[in-house]
Amino acid sequence: METIAQETGGRAFYSTDALGDAVKDAKSNGSHYYTLAYSPPNSKNDGKFRRIQVSLADNNYTLSYRRGYFADQPSHEFASQEGADDPFVPLIGLDMPDFDQILFKLQVVPKSPQPPANAPRAGNNTKLKAPYTRYDINFAVALPDIAMGLDANGTRHGRIEIMIIAFGPGGNILNIVRKRSNLTMDSKVYEATQQVGMQIHEEIDAPPGEIYLRAGIYDMNSGNCGTVGAALNGSSAKQSQK
């Protein structure tokens, strides 16, 4: 457990019945971190393990970080469909952590009733064959986390991007929903929306079987984002909250 925790940047908890304290401690530690980035000199995506080492001049600190990664081939399907120049694409990938710069509640429930088999597909995968399950995806976004500039008339403007990705076994992409929206709110609408959160509704189709859903919102003005993941079994409702 110690080895796994060290290699993944975590901490091992064992020989204790105080599960609540362990969860509280893990949540507190996970809420405070630095984000570091670099461009590896070896650009080959050969699937081999690449080790990472981070060090400080002051040796009085203990560092927790991921010790390496596998240089897997990036998903060309994802990049070609959504555009490699979209800054949101690398943040919502299957192997990325959840980001909490934008807080939101997410509800995922199978649509009732389900659409007929010949109905237009929900999502970019228009060739998805029946049977499939259509999910209602409901966001409630904390409006103060969205950068909305105020013009001379007292109207606020913002730009956001919503993305939902259904991953299958092995990490293959089964379906994607991606939409960009321009937000315009006068002072009354803005104040009212702050009370309940900005409501956003989307739908996505997914085939039967084990599905892992990644959903998020990206602020195109500030570059901040919020993401969350949820496992679906193809039939039951799931609810997750950031």
* 43 and 105 housed in the same domain: no
What is the per-residue pLDDT for 219?
Answer: 96
Tokens of 214: 């990644």
Mean pLDDT over residues 105-123, rounded? Answer: 92
* 113 and 218 housed in the same domain: yes
* 33 and 138 housed in the same domain: no
Domain final residue pick, 28, 55, 73: 73
What is the domain range of residue 45? 1-73
Mean per-residue pLDDT of the chain: 84
Q: What's the CA gap between 7 and 29, in Å, rounded?
A: 16
Residue bearing the bigger pLDDT, 182 or 32: 182
In this predicted structure, the answer to whether residue 16 has a pLDDT above a threshold of 80 is no
* Number of domains present in the structure of the chain: 2
* 181 and 115 housed in the same domain: yes
Mean pLDDT over residues 213-241, rounded? Answer: 78
* 7 and 84 housed in the same domain: no
- Rounded percentage of the chain residues whose pLDDT exceeds 70: 90
Q: How many CB atoms lie within 10 A of CB 118?
A: 6
pLDDT for 143-158, tens place per residue? 999 999 999 999 999 9
Q: What is the CATH number of the domain that holds 160?
A: 2.60.40.10
The string of DSSP codes covering 25-58 is HHHHHHTS--------S-----S-EEE-----S-
Domain final residue pick, 19, 40, 73: 73
* 88 and 50 housed in the same domain: no
Which helix (DSSP H) or strand (DSSP E) does residue 8 occupy?
helix 2-8
- Rounded percentage of the chain residues whose pLDDT exceeds 90: 45
Strand order across the 198-206 sheet? 198-206, 133-141, 104-110, 238-241
pLDDT band of residue 242 (cuts 50, 70, 90) is: very low
- Identify which of 19-23, 70-74, 81-85, 166-170 has the greatest average pLDDT: 166-170
Domain final residue pick, 73, 107, 123: 73
What is the per-residue pLDDT for 223?
Answer: 92
β-pairing, 149-150 with 68-70? Answer: unpaired
Mean pLDDT over residues 92-121, rounded? Answer: 90
In this predicted structure, the answer to whether residue 210 has a pLDDT above a threshold of 70 is yes
Mean pLDDT over residues 10-20, rounded? Answer: 78
pLDDT for 52-89, tens place per residue? 899 999 988 888 888 888 776 655 455 555 555 788 98
In this predicted structure, the answer to whether residue 233 has a pLDDT above a threshold of 50 is yes
* 43 and 99 housed in the same domain: no
* 85 and 60 housed in the same domain: no
* 149 and 217 housed in the same domain: yes
Q: pTM of the prediction?
A: 0.68
Say which amino acid occupies 84.
A
* 196 and 207 housed in the same domain: yes
In this predicted structure, the answer to whether residue 236 has a pLDDT above a threshold of 70 is no
* 162 and 80 housed in the same domain: yes
Residue bearing the bigger pLDDT, 237 or 181: 181
* 97 and 195 housed in the same domain: yes
pLDDT band of residue 160 (cuts 50, 70, 90) is: very high
